[in-house]
Amino acid sequence: MRPAFSVVIFTTLTGAGQGLFLAVYFTELVALWSNAVLPPAIFVTAGAAMAAGLALLGLAASFFHLGQPGRAWRAAAMWRTSWLSREVIVLPLFIALCAAYTAAHHLGGTGFAWTGVFALLACAALFLCTAKIYMCLKFLQEWASPLTLLNFVLLGTASGCTLAVSLALALAPQMLNALCGASMVMTLAALGARAASLARNARLRPKSSLQSAIGVANPRIRQTSQGFTGRSFNTREFFHGATPQKVRAVKWSFLLLVFLFPVVLIAVGMLADSPSLLSIAFPVQYFGLLAERWYFFAQANHPQNIYYQAMA
Amino acid sequence: MKQLALVIDLNVCVGCHACVTSCKEWNTSGSAGPLSDQNPYGADPSGTFFNRVQTYEIGVFPDTQTLHFPKSCLHCEDPPCVPVCPTGASYKRAEDGIVLVDYDKCIGCNYCAWACPYGARELDEHKKVMTKCTLCVDRITDQSRAEAERKPACVMACPTNARLFGDVHDPESEVARAIRERGGYALMPEWETRPANQYLPRRVSGSSADGK
């Protein structure tokens, strides 16, 4: 598939927003449960507001993927059958609940507890909807796996925790060690899941073949003409057009930028007590996530490509 | 329930592209607006088509056949492109099984095109909505036309009668009989989309019989 940058930016920003909400919410929840010192209210409100802001930016980016953005409101109609429609409903809900959680915190009282639970549910539902959009396309075999969901959850949570480290540097130094630990644990867990999906996809055998595509059993078939010498939607949308070397380079880049570098930056930053190392971990990881999501799309091999192998 | 569809006879398709050009002509001239072309006379042309004819070489020289293979939307009985549509623009008509796009509801998100294993849908670069074969729905339902002309433009244009059109659910129809008696088959059966359009396999005699 050709990676659409609007969708790459949308899924990575929203994922980081969801992860940041989880990081902030669980920091508070764990403190409540363990009767420890609560994180400063400013950290929680700023974190939740930033989570809503990232998801809002993601939503804005998603409009650039539409041919008719003015009709986007129509996309909420088919929630009974379409995961995309469900995502369109749940994403604004998550943003609204994050904003409500922020407001409840700001106003004080116990309202934040309930809004937090609802925001948590919306966050989980949003991860499910986003992943299911890809998982439910069974002939895109690279995506049709529970690992897709696991990766969206873990990569979003890891990047959110890493962003929470930057936030804690400024607003909640007493939470720094816990959040550094969370960022490293989640990043390593995400590495495990992403490595598993890379290994799975490397072993995939395409179910469709030229034989099944045109219904001829002969093992020796080649296309001599796709039917036109120009380009078309089919030749643009489903081919990424990058060389195998570039695709490999992107893979190794994201393995370093998403997983290795942030963990090293945070570990060294903690040991050396260096705020600058800690604060560059998130930009590095986010940049890597752009490469990771590009690769996620590029790696998916659409069966329609079987029909477009020879121009003339 | 009625299911209109095409049956393509691969024995007689000569790859002349008359179905491609007549499809483009009919569907670019109707009230739904043009099927746009970009840079049609330039070095890098591109455009929207509902129907293409591809060519394949089967076997190894000198024992080869050339197969001309018309390809359009298969109007699946279980179309994966329909349930994924977030707006309901993509739908399958209950009365005749044609899979259609409501251009006024489509937001151009491309998700239905991703969900079609056959690559049967094309986003029109000018209209910015998803387009696809309609089986010339505006022609086959036009009561002002003589009944013999209420057929898709591609069927009317085919000089070798390689394209049959009718209700595949009516066992007495020409298309149902052709599928039954001549081994009609569906494309990519592995995805269980149950395409309504089917293809009639080559009946080859002599030395190049190892096609199918």
Among all residues of chain A, which has the CA nearest to that of B53? A227
pLDDT at B207 over 50: no
The whole-angstrom distance between A104's CA and the closest CA on chain B is 33
Q: Catalogue all structural domains in chain A, each as residue range(s) with its CATH number.
A: 5-202+231-307 (1.20.1630.10)
**Confidence grade of residue B145 (pLDDT, cut at 50, 70, 90):** very high
Q: Answer for the pair A159, A285: CB distance below 8 angstroms, yes or no.
A: yes
Q: Answer for the pair A117, A110: CB distance below 8 angstroms, yes or no.
A: no
Which residues of chain A are within 8 Å of residue B189 when distances are taken between CB atoms?
212
**Confidence grade of residue B209 (pLDDT, cut at 50, 70, 90):** very low
The whole-angstrom distance between A211's CA and the closest CA on chain B is 9
**Confidence grade of residue A36 (pLDDT, cut at 50, 70, 90):** confident
Average pLDDT over residues A136-144: 97
Backbone angles phi, psi at A222, to 5 degrees: -140, 145
Q: Answer for the pair B140, B152: CB distance below 8 angstroms, yes or no.
A: yes
Residue B144: what pLDDT? 97
Residue A311: what pLDDT? 86
Residue A111: what pLDDT? 67
For chain B, the average pLDDT equals 95
Q: Catalogue all structural domains in chain B, each as residue range(s) with its CATH number.
A: 4-204 (3.30.70.20)
Which residues of chain A are within 8 Å of residue B44 when distances are taken between CB atoms?
230-231
Q: What is the pLDDT of residues B155-197, one digit of tens each?
A: 999 999 999 999 999 999 999 999 999 999 999 999 999 999 9
Q: Is the peptide bond before B86 cis (omega within 30 degrees of 0)?
A: no
pLDDT at A37 over 90: no
Contact at CB, B107 and A72, closer than 8 angstroms: yes
Burial A138-164 (b: 16+ CB within 10 A, else e): ebbbbbbbebbbbbbbbbbbbbbbbbb
ipTM for this prediction: 0.94
Residue by residue, DSSP assigns A7-56 as: HHHHHHHHHHHHHHHHHHHHHHHHHHHTT-PPPPHHHHHHHHHHHHHHHH
Contact at CB, A72 and B44, closer than 8 angstroms: no
The whole-angstrom distance between A219's CA and the closest CA on chain B is 8
Contact at CB, B89 and A74, closer than 8 angstroms: yes
Average pLDDT over residues A67-81: 97
Q: How many residues does this entry show for chain B? A: 212
Residue B81: what pLDDT? 98
- Please give the angle made by the CA atoms of B20, B2 and B9, to the nearest 5 degrees: 40
pLDDT greater at residue B206 or residue B57: B57
Q: What is the pLDDT of residues B11-50, one digit of tens each?
A: 999 999 999 999 999 999 988 899 999 999 999 999 999 9
Contact at CB, B86 and A74, closer than 8 angstroms: yes
Q: What is the pLDDT of residues A235-262, one digit of tens each?
A: 999 999 999 999 999 999 999 999 999 9
- Chain A interface includes B33 (CB < 8 A): no
Average pLDDT over residues A251-276: 97
Average pLDDT over residues A10-17: 98
Cα A212 to Cα A260: distance, rounded to the nearest angstrom = 42
**Confidence grade of residue A107 (pLDDT, cut at 50, 70, 90):** confident
pLDDT at A45 over 60: yes
pLDDT at A114 over 90: no
Contact at CB, A68 and B66, closer than 8 angstroms: no
- Chain A interface includes B58 (CB < 8 A): yes
C-alpha separations of A165 from A17, A40, B58 in Å: 14, 14, 60
Contact at CB, B48 and A88, closer than 8 angstroms: no
What is the percent of chain B where pLDDT is above 90?
Answer: 93
What is the percent of chain A where pLDDT is above 70?
Answer: 99
Residue B205: what pLDDT? 59
- Chain A interface includes B171 (CB < 8 A): no
Contact at CB, B86 and A307, closer than 8 angstroms: no
